[in-house]
Structure 1
Amino acid sequence: MSAQDWARAALRAIADGGLAAVAVEPLARTLGVTKGSFYAHYSNRNELVTAALAEWVRGHGDEGLAEFAAIADPAQRLRDLLTVVVQSVQPLAPSVHLSLLSDRNDPRVRDAVRQVDQARLELLTRTYRELGLPPDRAESRARVAYAAILGLMHLAQTDPGAPHSAVLTDEATAIFLPS
């Protein structure tokens, strides 16, 4: 069992129950290992939480967005990004991002969420600028698009009857891609 396996298990626990859900014994049971495996990688729970947050930032911040940032055509970039986001939102699925918001007073959480939000907003703003919007409108449009994405994540956690992701993808593209 690697340190990254533990960090990813901690992220699943965070998605289900926030930072309070990160506990060594339950995670060890989930992973099918002993607590000794944990202590081979981390000296305490706080180190695991810090590693899990770093893993989340890596996967959802600049590094996780690199594939989209590399798409030269901004319209295609926005379509692909919206498609991936909307298709990843599943009914009643837990969300690390939304769960972390309940722990936003923890400085580690605040920093991780800030890094991810900033990376996402910068990519969206850049995309809207490349689509021809002036800087202030590009930033505003990016914020509204991002707020809608977070709203979809929230609704998916509470609404099992949400429309199919293909319908939502078409609607998101129609709304957020400038004509």
Structure 2
Amino acid sequence: MTSEATRLSAGDWARAALKAIAEGGLAAVAVEPLARTLGVTKGSFYAHYRNRDELITAALSEWGRSHGEDGLARFAAIADPAQRLRELLTVVVRAVQPLAPSVHLSLLGDRNDPRVKEAIGQVNRARLDLLTRTYRELGLSPDRAASRARVAYAAILGLLHLAQTDPDAPEPAVLADEAAAIFLASRV
């Protein structure tokens, strides 16, 4: 167990809950197993949260922030839209690892939970907004930019899904190059 000097924060618990969600959805968030994983007693949990629902809400809020606007800020700051798109696609596709669990995909099984709907909606809106803005800056009309953003985002989510089930997927670098080539190919 951890010593008094190494107390866990509420954020540590939320991040542990996100790992559990990635591997098994909301049902995988349980205080005792998380405490064991973190090497602490349940008392540490109750120092930060009243119950499991509060932890899930905090974890989803953290995921929404880190994978939504806050997580995209470094890309949004890139002035050249072609470079922005290339870097975004490269980072996202290279992060897709064979058989790796995914919070986003795991949450889809709990998509009717209002907290999950809100978190996924927040992340989807931020990602689609950035992609749409990028395609607008590349010269596409508003409607085409929005459509292209949806197709690019769907491809990214599809690659994430395939990575969870396909141990023989091509190297992430190859996929990143292909994604950039496809989604930067036609600007009209």
Of the three residues 135, 138, 142, the one matched with 2:149 is 142
Normalised TM-score (structure 2): 0.94
Matched, 1:14 2:34: no
In 1, Cα distance between the equivalents of 2:11 and 2:141?
A: 41
Which runs of structure 2 are paired with 1:26-175 in the superposition (5 Å)? 26-175=33-182
2:145 partner amino acid? A
* Partner Cα separation in structure 1 for residue 171 and residue 70 of structure 2: 29
CA positional deviation for 1:178: 3.7
Letter in 2 for 1:101: L
The residue identity in structure 1 corresponding to 2:73 is A
Tell me the distance in 1 between the aligned counterparts of 2:139 and 2:185.
Answer: 9
Give, in whole Å, the separation in 2 of the partners of 1:31 and 1:82. Answer: 33
Give me the identity figure in percent. 82
Number of equivalences:
179
Q: 1:3 aligns with which of 5, 10, 18?
A: 10
In 2: Cα distance, 1:23 partner to 1:67 partner: 34
1:44-87: CA deviation from partner (whole Å, max 9, x where unpaired): 00000000000000100111111100000000000000010011
Structure 2: how far apart are the matches of 1:39 and 1:24?
A: 9
Please give the alpha-carbon distance, in whole angstroms, between the structure 2 residues aligned to 1:150 and 1:86.
10
What is the TM-score when the length of structure 1 is the normalising length? 0.99
Q: Which amino acid is 1:109 matched to?
A: V
**Is the 8 Å Cα contact of residues 71 and 77 (structure 1) preserved in structure 2?**
yes
1: CA distance, partners of 2:173 / 2:26: 32
Unaligned runs of 5+ in 1: none
Give ranges in structure 2 of 5+ residues lacking alignment: 1-7
Q: Which runs of 4+ in 1 moved over 4 A?
A: none
Amino acid at match of 1:131: L
Q: CA separation in 1, counterparts of 2:113 and 2:176?
A: 34
Q: Larger Rg: 1 or 2?
A: 2
8 A contact 1:131–1:178 mirrored in 2: no
